[in-house]
Amino acid sequence: MQLLVITIDNCDQFLETLAGLKEHGMNGIVMQSTSLKHALLNSNVDAAPIFSGVSKIVSHDFESSHTAFLLLNDDQIEHAKRVVRRNTHGLGKKGIMFSCPVSFFEGIEG
């Protein structure tokens, strides 16, 4: 069993990817997320001296994104990765995808 985590910056591509995963019987949850950079730029926490000047010149027009969490069987991971790559035309710098082994889960199935 694997936990697949997917964040794609482009909302349309993210939704197309979710639809593609759903078509193949894969389910999960989606949570709103934001990058560490965006969170720090919009916080009241004092930045380290090296970053304080940068935060003044960098635009603050970042958009929040969403992250999908899917609990998949090992044999579904490669197919899910292909769906993500197909819908994003190659993930590149558009987001991130990774999986972690899951040794235990209980609760809702399917």
pTM of the predicted structure, to 2 decimals: 0.75
Name the residue with higher pLDDT: 39 or 76: 76
Per-residue pLDDT tens for 38-53? 666 666 655 555 555 5
> Does residue 75 register a pLDDT over 70?
yes
What stretch of H or E contains 103? none
> Rounded CA gap, 21 and 72, in Å?
11
* Architecture in CATH of 2-33+64-101: 2-Layer Sandwich (3.30)
Per the CB < 8 A criterion, the answer to whether 45 and 85 are in contact is: no
What's residue 6's pLDDT?
96
What's residue 97's pLDDT?
96
What is residue 58's DSSP assignment?
A: S
Residue range 68-79: mean pLDDT, rounded = 95
